[in-house]
Amino acid sequence: MDIRRIKTVFVTSILLMGFFIGGCGEPGQPGSGSRELAPRIDLGTTIGSLVKVVSPDLIAVEGYGMIGGLRGTGSGECPPRVRAYLKQYILKQLPEPRDIESFINSRDTAVVRVYGVMSTAVSESRNFDIIVATLPGTQTTSLEGGWLYSTELKQIGRFGLATRILAKAEGAVFIDTLDSSGTDKRAGYVLAGGTALGEYPVTLALRKPDFIIANAIRNRLNGRFGPNTAKAVSPGRIELRVPAQYGKRKQRFISMAKAMYLAETREITRERIKTFVGKLAVSQDDASEIALEAIGNESLSKLPALLNSSYEQVRLRAARCMLNLGSDRGLETLMEIAMDKGSAYRVEALEAITTAARRNDASAISRRLLRDEDFAIRLAAYEQLRKLDDIAVTRRPIARSFYLEQIVQTKHKAIFVSRSGRPRIVLFGAPISCQDNIFVESANGEITIDSRAGQKYVSVTRKHPTRPTVIGPLRSSLELDDIIETLCEEPLRRTEQGRLGLGVSYADMIALLKQMCEKGAIEAKFQAGPLPKID
């Protein structure tokens, strides 16, 4: 018998031996001890039992860069190897030679370490938040108001080596001042300032390399998710391309690929569906849901029975699985959960709808939830509409700093400001108007917003950042979007035309908005998103 026939017999025995060996695994409910969930036959060999995923979900990156635009609070101190690198890098970026030493040594610039964590699912999030921090022992006292020039980022620990550049970073420095206690201005964020470069395929490494098994895995995955999803590049390695429908759900796709079985017959497929539907009815995790979705449309014959379960979580999982498989029968159940004010799964149901339902259906339910009394639900509805690029959310860029977004379709007035991801100020219940007879001043005394009683406008002024003069006053209407634009648009040069602004930073603007809400100048609830979580 030749080697190929021996391998074929070996693989076939692995795939089919389950028909002769009893036993199944633990029931879905921990400690339930139910034997009714045990299948009549062994369910077979999963792809996940034969491979391990070697592609990292996240990659920590770092580099060294320059912050410009400081007001004499910087310094050029840095180790010799960092200075040599910066001089060479800056020289490559400049269109014509300049005095690089003077640029680095200026008190208006600072050398910083730049680091962040980027996702390998580039289709999901090409941009990511980064941290900029002064180097230990330097004379730099503040990065406030600075701008990070284009910086190369490599895998952490690889600086100075001839290794691949994984990302670049650039943008305005954000130092949170909403909670002024203990703010260290020698470090800050550049929100969504990192940009991942290139693609990162998912790699499956066979625990025991074998080309026949690798080809069998490739064929199963391509048969389930479409041609060119999997490619067996060697006996021990399979590369996966995340299908378009799972482009923003990379981890779910990987979980499904691992949950798939290598052997497939009608009898064993029916037994798998029966087993996992039974487990889903009592399970506290999503393993059974993923297994049923991995099986495919055959699961739709048994899932509808779970839509009548007395357990809301079971109804959610069954309906989501059905919608992901292309069946609208679960949509009504998900809508009921999303609209139920007493449900703990409202946001999860909404996300399931906007992920897999038709765009018109997803937009309709999200717009309805914009009128919900719970701000967390309104915020979730807005986030989904934003992903759908729905006309309910209007958006315009302000200077190079942030987006100003407005939502009319809600009677509850609120202001949301992001502190991670793309910088944005969101006006719920727009238009939002400011009261007259107000006086608001920034914490450092540089920016003032003033309106006298009966006045139909506000005056805004700002101390010049580098000269002992005042910019303004400029007039704005009482509408908040107009005030924000007047404050934050960049000052015009004499040769330019357009909207004149004071160039106020995003960080200063959101601090002013919080103060205006607290003083009653704006009758709206102020909400700030969380700061970036970069470990």
Give a yes or no: residue 19 inside a domain. Answer: no
Is the model more confident about 31 or about 377? Answer: 377
pLDDT surpassing 60 at residue 5: no
Query: What is the separation, in whole angstroms, between the first and last Cα of the chain?
Result: 56
pLDDT score, position 417: 98
Alpha carbon 94 to its chain's center: 33
pLDDT surpassing 70 at residue 35: no
Lowest mean pLDDT among 57-71, 84-98, 246-260, 493-507: 493-507
Cα distance between residue 448 and residue 436, in whole Å: 14
Give yes or no: residues 425 and 517 share one domain: yes
Give yes or no: residues 67 and 186 share one domain: yes
For the record, the structure tokens of 493 come out as: 């040069």
Give yes or no: residues 369 and 436 share one domain: no
Answer for the pair 501, 472: CB distance below 8 angstroms, yes or no: no
Q: What is the largest CA-CA distance in the chain?
A: 99
Give a yes or no: residue 136 inside a domain. Answer: yes
Give a yes or no: residue 50 inside a domain. Answer: no
Give a yes or no: residue 20 inside a domain. Answer: no
Using one digit for the tens of pLDDT, what is the confidence trace for 181-237?
A: 668 899 999 999 999 988 778 899 999 999 999 999 999 999 999 999 999 999 999
Lowest mean pLDDT among 47-51, 116-120, 491-495: 491-495
Confidence tier at 30 by pLDDT (50, 70, 90)? very low
pLDDT surpassing 70 at residue 17: no
Give yes or no: residues 188 and 235 share one domain: no
pLDDT score, position 98: 73
Lowest mean pLDDT among 16-30, 31-45, 89-103, 264-278: 16-30
pLDDT above 90 covers what percent of the chain?
Answer: 70
pLDDT score, position 245: 85
Give yes or no: residues 113 and 220 share one domain: no
pLDDT surpassing 70 at residue 497: no
pLDDT score, position 199: 77
Mean pLDDT of 34-63: 81
pLDDT surpassing 80 at residue 383: yes
pLDDT score, position 179: 76
Last residue of a domain, one of 348, 364, 387: 387
Give a yes or no: residue 25 inside a domain. Answer: no
Give a yes or no: residue 96 inside a domain. Answer: yes
Q: Buried (b) or exposed (e) across 55-69, using 16+ Cβ within 10 A?
A: beeebbbbbbbbbbb
Cα distance between residue 467 and residue 108, in whole Å: 14
Per the DSSP assignment, residues forming a β-bridge with 459 are: 450, 475
Q: How far is CA 132 from CA 62, 194, 196, 452, in A?
A: 10, 11, 17, 41
Mean pLDDT of 45-74: 92
Using one digit for the tens of pLDDT, what is the confidence trace for 304-313?
A: 999 999 999 9
Using one digit for the tens of pLDDT, what is the confidence trace for 110-151?
A: 999 999 999 877 555 689 999 999 999 899 999 999 999 999
The string of DSSP letters for 411-440 reads: SS-EEEE-SSSS-EEEEETS--BB-SSEEE
For the record, the structure tokens of 74 come out as: 């910087």
pLDDT surpassing 80 at residue 172: yes
Amino acid (one-letter) located at 12: T
Give yes or no: residues 322 and 238 share one domain: no
pLDDT score, position 457: 93
> Mean pLDDT in the chain?
87
Q: How many domains is the chain built from?
A: 4
Query: Using CB atoms within 10 A of its CB, is residue 114 exposed (0-12), middle (13-18) or buried (19+)?
Result: buried
Lowest mean pLDDT among 3-7, 410-414, 476-480, 495-499: 3-7
Last residue of a domain, one of 196, 216, 243: 196
Answer for the pair 148, 138: CB distance below 8 angstroms, yes or no: no
Give yes or no: residues 314 and 364 share one domain: yes
User: Residue 129 in 3-state DSSP?
Assistant: strand
Within the chain, how many helices (H) and strands (E) appear?
15, 19
Give yes or no: residues 119 and 171 share one domain: yes
Give yes or no: residues 191 and 62 share one domain: yes
Give yes or no: residues 111 and 228 share one domain: no
Cα distance between residue 347 and residue 357, in whole Å: 15
For the record, the structure tokens of 254 come out as: 């990987």
pLDDT score, position 34: 42
pLDDT score, position 58: 87
Mean pLDDT of 55-60: 84
pLDDT above 70 covers what percent of the chain?
Answer: 89
pLDDT score, position 444: 86
The string of DSSP letters for 165-198 reads: --EEEEEE-B---SS-TT--TTEEEEEEEEEE-S
pLDDT score, position 244: 85
Per the DSSP assignment, residues forming a β-bridge with 51 are: 206
Q: What are phi and psi of 39, to 5 degrees?
A: -75, 160
pLDDT surpassing 90 at residue 64: yes
Query: Using CB atoms within 10 A of its CB, is residue 245 exposed (0-12), middle (13-18) or buried (19+)?
Result: middle
Cα distance between residue 349 and residue 531, in whole Å: 25
Last residue of a domain, one of 236, 259, 282: 259
pLDDT score, position 421: 94
Using one digit for the tens of pLDDT, what is the confidence trace for 327-367?
A: 999 999 999 999 999 999 999 999 999 999 999 999 999 99
Confidence tier at 39 by pLDDT (50, 70, 90)? low
For the record, the structure tokens of 281 come out as: 């009815």
Domain enclosing residue 432, as ranges? 394-528
Give yes or no: residues 431 and 508 share one domain: yes
Give a yes or no: residue 28 inside a domain. Answer: no
Give a yes or no: residue 226 inside a domain. Answer: yes
Q: How far is CA 535 from CA 190, 216, 304, in A?
A: 15, 39, 42
pLDDT surpassing 70 at residue 415: yes
Give yes or no: residues 381 and 445 share one domain: no
Answer for the pair 74, 106: CB distance below 8 angstroms, yes or no: yes
